[in-house]
Amino acid sequence: MSTIISRFNPTTYEVTGEPKLLDNWYREMESVLEFVNCPEDMKVEHAAFYLRDEAGVWCHHEREAAQEYYKNMGKPAIPWAEFKKAMRNHFIPEHISRKLRAEFDTFAMTDSMTVAKYYHKFKELSCYTEDMELSQLSLVLRFERGYR
């Protein structure tokens, strides 16, 4: 499986403090893992290979601690969704998350913005509201409120 994944030449992730780079890495890695039909219990193992420097060190220590926890819960591996959440919590400082959530709360379409650009920016900012547990209806209403 590792050989097949490496043929796609996935981007590596190094901690930069830029949330967008982490999100881009998630999307690319998820696309590759899904395309090669990587089993859920192997996603973190394969993705970890593409983490560098501080992210790689963090992942190594986090996986060691988490493996025991999940094994005691009867799960074979760290779930990909939990891994992503832990990375986001660790590498995107709370003050940046708060700033992005505030930007999402006040985001509205401008005169120079196309509908496509508004939608793209809305989707980009909405991923920083995951901890707010907004319903689909709340997101739709929020989108309409900012749409002109």
Which has more pLDDT, 114 or 128?
114
**Has residue 33 got a pLDDT over 90?**
yes
pLDDT band at 131 (very low <50, low <70, confident <90, very high): low
- Cβ neighbours of residue 59 under 8 Å, at least 6 residues apart? 48, 51, 87
Give, as one character, the DSSP assignment of residue 42. Answer: G
Task: Tell me the whole-structure pTM to 2 decimals.
Answer: 0.72
Could you report the per-residue pLDDT of 55-114, keeping only the tens digit for each? 999 999 888 888 788 888 888 788 898 898 889 888 888 888 888 888 888 999 999 999
Average predicted confidence (pLDDT) for the chain: 88
Question: What sign does the dihedral 136-141-24-67 (CA atoms) show?
Answer: negative
**C-alpha angle 99-79-84 in degrees, rounded to nearest 5:** 20
**Has residue 133 got a pLDDT over 80?**
no
In the prediction, which pLDDT does 85 show?
A: 86
In the prediction, which pLDDT does 132 show?
A: 64
CB 139 within 8 A of CB 126: yes
pLDDT band at 135 (very low <50, low <70, confident <90, very high): confident
Domain ranges of the chain: 2-91, 94-146
- DSSP 3-state assignment of 112? coil
